[in-house]
Structure 1
């Protein structure tokens, strides 16, 4: 189990040079944009325009802050995403454009290499203790607003935009909110040949 503090995240330019992304976690460690198996990051989107294309990558986008964004993914109807919308899954190698609804946003991006890994993203608003299953190769819990305490051998306190990354486990995590808090639960799995 690793605690990832927001102050320690790494910032880098977008693949298309149009902005800056903040990397929360990547596997393998220190993998570049063309070599990761999976990657979790945040980005500040200041204006509309085309999204970077990532060959062979599946992506899920969620709005963390701001009024929202409308994504136009080739072959799909436009998707309006807000801070209360369900996370939106799409192929990152399809041409994708975006328009902001009303001003800049911050988004959460989860990407996995198609055919090798798969992921799911869940947004939970919690006001009471919650059990989070961790039956995956990796589980990342990101705290958005407020604070939570995660039960472990040594309890871990996560503040705004801090994260907890666990390796494969069968036991769940118990999350105790200090106040009403939103958490994002990212589960990443390998794809087996018989899947």
Structure 2
């Protein structure tokens, strides 16, 4: 298990300069925007405008802060994203325009290469989360508290306070069970890779 603190992430401009993103994790490690297999980040949208295009990539976008946005996906149609904590899937290579409904939003953004051995599942859980790590070899599980006040408890270890948007990354298929105690919401991501 690896703990990635939200406070340690740097803000980086979007590929098209229209917002900022804070990368949580990517596979392969250190991969850039052109060569990742999967990538998890928090993206801040502060103004209307287009999303960056990512050829051959699918997105799972989960709004975690804000009132929402209207998306216009070329050739697909409009999509309103106004419910927090509800994962939304859409192609990352389709030109996508964004109009904010009431100011800045923050999205948990999960992207993976389409048609490859990379895939992503996103679930938002309310309350405690128990995890033994990755569900199978060749996958990674990432757990991200979306509200403040979560605590990690593992047998033999002192409780560990988790801040909002910290991330726990599990890659071992059979680590000791961990319990994340929370009264809020937590994103549980399962990312498959070769």
- Map of 1:165 onto structure 2: 169
Instruction: Report the counterpart of residue 193 of structure 2 in structure 1.
Output: 190
> Is there any run of 5+ residues in structure 1 with no aligned partner, and where?
none
The 5-angstrom pairing of residues 139-154 of structure 1 reads 139-153=141-155, 154=157
Does 1:119 pair with 2:120?
yes
| SS of 1:67 mapped into structure 2 | coil
* Aligned 1:29-178 pairs, distance under 5 A: 29-114=29-114, 115-126=116-127, 129-132=128-131, 134-136=134-136, 137-153=139-155, 154=157, 155-170=159-174, 173-177=178-182
Match of 2:16 in 1: 16
Report the count of equivalent residues. 187
TM-score between both structures, scaled by the size of structure 2? 0.87
Native 8 Å contact 2:56 2:92 kept in 1: yes
Structure 2: which 5+ residue stretches go unaligned? none
Query: Taking structure 1 as the reference length, what is the TM-score of the superposition?
Result: 0.87
Indicate if the aligned counterparts of 2:64 and 2:85 stay in contact, CA closer than 8 A. Answer: no
Q: Structure 1's 162 and 83: CA in aligned 2 closer, same or farther, altered over 3 A?
A: farther
| Pair 101,140 (structure 1): closer, same or farther in 2 beyond 3 Å | same
Shift of 1:83: 4.5
